Amino acid sequence: MYDCADIERLAQRYVDGKLNDEEKMLFEKHLEYCLPCDKKIEFELKLKEIIRIKAKEKFNPVDLEAKLMDFVRKLN
Amino acid sequence: MPTERQKEFAKLIEPHLSSLYSTALRMTHNQNDAEDLVQDTLFKAFRALDQYQKNTNFRAWIFRILVNTFITAYRKAIKQPQKISYDDMEEFFLYKRLDETVSLQETNKEEFLESLFEDDVKEALDNLPYQFRLVVLLCDVEGFSYNEIANIIDAPSGTVMSRLYRGRRLLQRYLWNYAKTRGYITDDFKKKS
C-alpha cells in the first residue's frame, strides 16, 4: 500500500508516465481513496499541460517556410 | 537551384523548425540570438548529415546539435549556476500555496493555471538556471522522453531527472511569485487562519 508520502515521492515520475506497472497500480489505488492526493496530482498534470501550451512559441508557418528557403539558398 | 541533398535536408528539418526556434528563443532570451543559434545549428547539421543514420530519431539528433551549439556559443556567457537553496523545494509547492489562500478555493486552482499569461509562463522559464531550463523545455514543452533528453544533453538519465524535478519545483516558486505580484491573487489574499 502506498501512503501520501509515497505519492509525493513518486509524483513527478507518475506525471511523466515513468512508473512501472506495479508502481502505477499502487499509485492510482491510493488516489482512488485519497482525495487530497488525487487533487494534487490532477493539478500537477494540468500544470504540465499549461506549460506546454503557454511556453510554446507560435510562429507563422509562412515565415518559417521563408526562413528555411532562405537558409537553403545560403547553402549554395 | 537547390541540390537533391539540400532538398532532402529541408524536408527533414521542416517539421522541427518551429520547435528549434521556440527552444532557441527560450535559451537565448532574444530573437536575433535565437535566429543565429538556429542558423548555426542548421549549418552544422547539414555538414554532418552523412553521420545521421536514416530512420533513426532525427528530432533528437537535431536537438543534440542545437544544444551543443548553444553551449559552445554561450560557454563564456553562461554564469555558473547560482547557489540555489533546495531546502524549501517541497513537492506540490504551488498547489499548497494556492490551497492556503482564502481567495482561491478548490474549484479555482485550475482556473488559476488557465489564467496565467503566456508571457508570465515564458518569463518564469527564462529565469530558470539554464541547465534546468533546458531539461524542462525538452521534457515539458517539446515532449522528449528522459532517454532522449539524456542523449541530447549528453548526461546520465539520473541527472536528467534531478534537473527536471528541481527545475519544475523552482518554476512553481517563480509562478507563485508572479501570482502575487501580478494580481492573480486578489487583495483578499491571506493565509487561512
Domain spans of chain A? 4-74
The pLDDT assigned to A70 comes to 86
β-pair partners for B69: none
Owner of C-alpha cell 478555493: B105
Given a contact cutoff of 8 angstroms between Cβ atoms, the answer to whether B96 and B89 are in contact is no
The pLDDT assigned to B86 comes to 62
B42 in A contact zone (CB under 8 Å): yes
Contact residues, chain A, for B146 at CB < 8 Å: 16, 18
Per-residue pLDDT, averaged over A17-41, amounts to: 97
The pLDDT assigned to B158 comes to 95
Chain B residue at shortest CA distance from A70: B39
DSSP run (H or E) holding B138: none
Q: Is the pLDDT of residue B187 over 70?
A: no
- Of B186, B179, B144, B139, the closest CA to residue B162 belongs to B139
Given a contact cutoff of 8 angstroms between Cβ atoms, the answer to whether A7 and A31 are in contact is yes
From the list B6, B18, B121, which residue is nearest A75 (CB)?
A: B6
Above 0.90 for ipTM, yes or no?
Answer: yes
Given a contact cutoff of 8 angstroms between Cβ atoms, the answer to whether A54 and B118 are in contact is yes
β-pair partners for B191: B101
B25 in A contact zone (CB under 8 Å): yes
CA A14-A15-A16 angle, to 5 degrees, is 90
Could you read off the pLDDT of B110-156 as tens digits, one per residue? Answer: 888 888 889 999 999 999 999 999 999 999 999 999 999 999 999 99
Could you read off the pLDDT of B83-100 as tens digits, one per residue? Answer: 666 655 789 999 998 888
Per-residue pLDDT, averaged over B31-41, amounts to: 94
Q: Cα–Cα distances in Å, from B162 out to B69, B88, B143, B171?
A: 23, 16, 17, 14
The pLDDT assigned to B127 comes to 93
Given a contact cutoff of 8 angstroms between Cβ atoms, the answer to whether B15 and B21 are in contact is no
From the list A9, A59, A76, which residue is nearest B21 (CB)?
A: A59
The pLDDT assigned to B111 comes to 84
B139 in A contact zone (CB under 8 Å): yes
- Of B173, B15, B125, the closest CA to residue A53 belongs to B125
A4 to chain B nearest CA, in Å? Answer: 12
Output the average pLDDT for chain B.
Answer: 87
pTM to 2 decimals?
A: 0.91
Contact residues, chain A, for B114 at CB < 8 Å: 50
Q: Is the pLDDT of residue B193 over 60?
A: no
Chain A residue at shortest CA distance from B106: A39
Chain A residue at shortest CA distance from B145: A16
The three cell numbers of residue B122 are 515564458
Exposure b/e, B21-50, CB count within 10 A at least 16 = b: bbbbbbbbeeeebbeebbbbbbebbbeeee
The pLDDT assigned to B83 comes to 64
Give me the domains of chain B, ranges plus CATH numbers.
4-74 (1.10.1740.10), 93-181 (1.10.10.10)
The pLDDT assigned to A35 comes to 96
The pLDDT assigned to B109 comes to 83
**What are the residues whose beta carbons fall under 8 Å from the beta carbon of B179, sequence distance 6 or more?**
B98, B112, B185
Name the pLDDT band for B179 (thresholds 50, 70, 90): confident
Name the pLDDT band for B3 (thresholds 50, 70, 90): confident
Owner of C-alpha cell 524535478: B165
DSSP H helices in B48-185: 58-74, 93-99, 108-115, 118-126, 130-136, 146-153, 157-181
Q: Cα–Cα distances in Å, from B71 out to B42, B66, B77, B78?
A: 15, 9, 9, 8
**Residue B155 or A69, more confident:** B155
Q: Cα–Cα distances in Å, from A64 out to A40, B15, B24, B38, B66?
A: 39, 10, 14, 12, 17
* Distance, CA of A7 to CA of A37 (rounded, Å): 7
Name the pLDDT band for A58 (thresholds 50, 70, 90): confident
- Of B190, B143, B128, B140, the closest CA to residue A55 belongs to B140
